[in-house]
Amino acid sequence: MSFERAALALLLGLVFGSFVTALVHRVPRGMALLGDRSRCPACGHVLGWRDLVPLLSWLTSRGRCRHCGQTISFRYPMIEIASALLVLLVAARQAEPLAAALLALMAVLLLAIALIDLEKRIIPNRLLLALLPIGLAYRLTVDADPLDMLGGLALALALGLGLAFGYAKLRGRPGLGMGDVKFLALAGLVLGFSGFPVFLLLAGLLGVVTGLGWRLAGRGSRFPFGPALAATLLIVLLFPSLSRL
């Protein structure tokens, strides 16, 4: 990968990361994504362009609001850096420009889904609906196989609904949320019948690790499955050879 391509990927990733922070704050609260300017969460002051430059604004203000002096959470620059690294990884793995652009958009939306589920225990329909056309466009760009895609959707729905209702009937409480089931359906459609089984296996393994870490941290037995699903979907998309294992 050339230096210019890497630099562009990092720059776009930082910009996308700023959008991810807005998604994480606004989507769970039902706020509009467009038309409402960003404000300081402490004093409510409308933020100017100097306050919204990804990463640099936080560094130059030393992590404080320029208007009220309130500390700005460290998570904002961390999300922007994470987004930049994800887009850089996409640029390194996918050489075709259109496919790389679509996969980069998927990566940042998956990051937003993981963070929202981690914080609010929900996978928003708005983000799943945004992912759907992008995921379909990506799959049709790299490997158009409608029958495989429909087979993956059918398999994902059967397993997802079976696990959700089966666990609830056996244990008397939900074990898999409908947001997770919808995500599985999306993954099945994008990955297809050939790629979904590996995705399901890796997501299950990552979910077990996440659950153990959640318990060891003293946060109870129920944990958000969305981060494991989002991470696994991105891994399988970035490394399609895994589907042939």
Instruction: Answer whether residue 88 shows pLDDT above 90.
Output: yes
Domain boundary among 37, 61, 93: 93
Who wins on pLDDT, 61 or 126? 126
Q: Is the domain of 79 the same as that of 197?
A: no
Domain boundary among 47, 69, 93: 93
Who wins on pLDDT, 37 or 131? 131
Q: Is the domain of 100 the same as that of 89?
A: no
| Long-range contacts, 2-10 (Cβ 8 Å, 24+) | 5/91, 6/88, 6/91, 6/92, 8/91, 9/84, 9/87, 9/88, 9/90, 9/91, 9/92, 9/104, 10/84, 10/87, 10/88
Q: Is the domain of 86 the same as that of 102?
A: no
Contact 133, 147 (CB under 8 A): no
Number of domains in the chain: 2
Q: Is the domain of 103 the same as that of 54?
A: no
- The parent domain of residue 3 ranges over 1-93
Give the mean pLDDT of the chain: 86
pLDDT computed for residue 60 by the predictor: 75
Percentage, residues of the chain above pLDDT 90: 51
Instruction: Answer whether residue 164 shows pLDDT above 80.
Output: no
Q: How confident is the model at residue 167 (pLDDT cuts 50, 70, 90)?
A: low
The token duo for 19 is: 């959008």
Instruction: Answer whether residue 170 shows pLDDT above 90.
Output: no
Cα 122 from Cα 130, distance rounded (Å): 16
Q: How confident is the model at residue 24 (pLDDT cuts 50, 70, 90)?
A: very high
Q: Is the domain of 101 the same as that of 85?
A: no
DSSP three-state, residue 17: helix
**Which segment, 102-111, 166-175, 216-225, is predicted with the most confidence on average?**
102-111
User: Which pTM was predicted?
Assistant: 0.89
Q: Is the domain of 221 the same as that of 136?
A: yes
pLDDT computed for residue 135 by the predictor: 95
Instruction: Answer whether residue 35 shows pLDDT above 80.
Output: no
Q: Is the domain of 193 the same as that of 157?
A: yes
Q: Is the domain of 21 the same as that of 101?
A: no
Q: Is the domain of 106 the same as that of 63?
A: no
Instruction: Answer whether residue 12 shows pLDDT above 90.
Output: yes
Q: Is the domain of 54 the same as that of 114?
A: no
Q: Is the domain of 73 the same as that of 20?
A: yes
Buried b vs exposed e over 73-103: b needs ≥16 C-beta within 10 Å? Answer: eeebbebbbbbbebbbbbbeebeeeebbbbb
Q: Is the domain of 77 the same as that of 122?
A: no
